[in-house]
A and B are shown apart, each in its own frame.
Chain A
Amino acid sequence: MRKLVQPACAFAFALAVIVALLALSSESPQRTLVAFFAKPLSSWWYAGNLLNVAGLLILAGTGSAFALRAGAFNLGGEAQLYASALVAAVILAPTGGPAGLAAEGFPRIAFALASAVATGALVAFIPGVLKASLRVSELITSFLLSAAVTPVLDWLISGPLRDPEQNLLATRAIDPAFRIPPIAAPALFNASFFVAVGIAVCGALFLGKTSPGYRIRISGTAPEFARYSGFSVKGATIAGMTVSGALHGLAGFFAVAGTWYMCHSGLTSGMGWGALACALMARANPLAVIPAAILYSWVETATDAASLSARFSFDSSALVQAVIFLVISVQTLGIPFLREKRRRP
């Protein structure tokens, strides 16, 4: 029970900040707050879309949790998601992408899936290797790499890969044959949610019940002990980051195949940071990422609904993430390497 106190406080503080700001900026605070608390569950459209976004967050959040467990901190989730989504959108476009990739049906969607996962993994693999080989902190390299890659992706979407027939800054819509259909329209909720839950469960089992999972956990929490035991701490770091990127890549694939059906400029809109916030709230436990992602998605949906009601919009997700980061960062968190390492007299 005590383990729940800190994540619960982080969530409660974030909720309080958003509610206060919405109430302050609305001409009718009562109506806005009613919309905030009631709208997300008032219709299947809201609830289904909430769960759909939660599914993407569960995948990426499980990835973030994986890196945390391996003793690494993946701050490049934004670009890993974005790059993977772009790769998926290009491969699944109606004309078949580059010559030779025009195979239809299962082979092409499998190729798109594998490419998206590989792209996310590659973007995360680089900071992992830099940490393992040059001992450059992945905290800064994963962020900087993500920030450097994102404008290039923006340029590709607004330039060479843009759909010339649309006014949107987006790639062409993917072939309808490759779209994951909604389970109950009009909400976008689809099978990817169940895949995400399955992967979170498998991730928890892998980390908790298998020998490689044990090695990764020990390397993350007690690297010196891991070295004495003959485990490769460097290997665990690289593996943790790569798997983390791969899961972000999978989320990017589902974002295109199941939600937007194209890759538009700024597609992730903070989802990478949101996934990290969920992983931190879940104390890097993949199973706990599931409720954390649903709660996080609920706050986002509720804020959107309330903003619509108040005709007032702002970047609420950044504030939610800020509060969660601040509260979760305190030393009582049960992940040893997150604790402050400075020497104190």
Chain B
Amino acid sequence: MIDDPIAIAAFAIAAMAAPLLFATLGALCSEYAGALAVFMDGAITLAGFVFIAITAATGLPAVGFVAASLVVTGLLWAVAVFTERTGANPFLTGLGVNLFAAGFTSWLSSAIFETQGAVSLTGKAAAAALSFPRIAGFPIAVCSAIALALFVRYAKPGVALRIAGESPEFLAARGFSPPRVRIASWCVAALFASCAGSLLAAGLGAWVPSLSAGRGWTALAAVYLGFRDPIGAIAAVLLFSGADYLTTIAQGTGKIPGTVILGFPYALSLIVFAVIPRSRRATF
């Protein structure tokens, strides 16, 4: 049992940061390829639902995670191909993914669980999901960030991903297909979104319609606050999570209504977008 308040705060912030860091890394991959990952919020919600539904059916969280990754990656691959083939606006198709996730999970929860609200795990499935230590997510997310940083700096496909958004002509001259790189970036983003959604749902032992709670949008802001760099993203996410922790503490004191705090991630993201220089912003 930990008694030190600083250690308690550090553990709480790390636990809060893990899903956000996964989401930020996903958003960063899409950003590298030249598209703002507007779909991230919906992808997290959908991943969390599939994770809970499959874990409830099999009792195995690992199977739930694999299923969530497959479904969300499949969906985003299809939308990315659609976006490339039709020349669609990726912002609009990303919004379409968010709306689709809201409507489709609502239909699935009614059809499968006969509820439009929370879907909870019970019995062994709940015990298995909740047994995953929440704090373990953060080191895994940090390792993913380091791996992504090395990948985009030193691996040939990683360098291709990094320049796909800024210099598609150069990429084509080097023998890469820019549309394929862009589609791949959405698929990688989907994998990270699956990690975020599964981690959030596992922590709760349930799926709720507002599972992502704006983390997809906060991730977009964290991408720019972290200077579009995976290591910088860790610092940005810790900053956001620290602020999130402080507001949670303030909520506990009764000084800030809980409902108002729901808008906090969006307000913080709005401020970040308004103050960061234009040169570091998205190209949408």
Contacts and interface: CB of A to CB of B under 8 A. Distances in A.
Interface of A: 21, 24-25, 75, 130, 134-137, 139-141, 143-145, 147-152, 154-155, 158-159, 273, 312-323, 325-326, 328-332, 338-345
A189 B39 CA distance: 37
B278 interface: yes
Nearest to B268: A148
A32 to B, nearest CB: 13
Given A147-B263, A155-B259, A329-B88, A130 B96 contact: no
Contacts of B140: none
Q: B interface, how many residues as a size bin?
A: 35 or more
Contact of B274 (A21, A130, A332): A130
A325 B168 contact: no
B169 A343 contact: yes
Interface stretch (B57-65, B79-87, B122-130, B234-242): B79-87
Contacts of A151: 259-263
A147 B217 contact: yes
A33 B110 CA distance: 18
Interface string B242-284: 0000000000000001011111101101100110001001111
Contacts of A139: 91, 284
B103 A144 contact: no
A326 B38 CA distance: 13
Contact of B260 (A152, A317, A343, A344): A152
Given A140-B36, A273-B99, 11 more contacts: A24-B111, A148-B270, A158-B259, A315-B102, A321-B103, A322-B96, A329-B86, A332-B86, A340-B83, A341-B284, A342-B90
B88 A344 contact: no
Contact of B106 (A143, A318, A321, A332): A318
A274 to B, nearest CB: 10
Given A135-B278, A147-B266, A155-B260, A318 B102 contact: yes
Contacts of A140: 36, 220, 273, 284
A25 B116 contact: no
A152 B88 contact: no
A345 B87 contact: no
Main secondary structure, interface of A, reads helix
B100 interface: yes
Residue of B86, B103, B110, B266 most packed against chain A (CB within 10 A): B103
B263 A312 contact: no
Given A159-B257, A329-B92, A345 B100 contact: no
Contacts of A338: 89, 92
Given A342-B34, A345-B169, A136 B274 contact: yes
Given A24-B111, A315-B116, A321-B99, A137 B284 contact: yes
Contacts of A134: 274, 278
A325 B95 contact: yes
Nearest to A312: B110
B132 interface: no
Contacts of A158: 259
A135 B278 CA distance: 7
B214 A147 contact: yes
In the A-B complex, the 7 residue pairs with the smallest Cβ-Cβ separation, listed nearest first, are A319-B103, A331-B87, A318-B103, A329-B92, A322-B99, A151-B263, A322-B100
A331 B89 CA distance: 7
Given A25-B107, A328-B92, A145 B270 contact: yes
A77 to B, nearest CB: 13
15 contacts: A21-B107, A144-B217, A151-B259, A152-B259, A152-B263, A314-B103, A314-B106, A315-B106, A315-B107, A317-B103, A321-B103, A322-B99, A326-B82, A340-B88, A342-B34
Contacts of B106: 314-315, 318
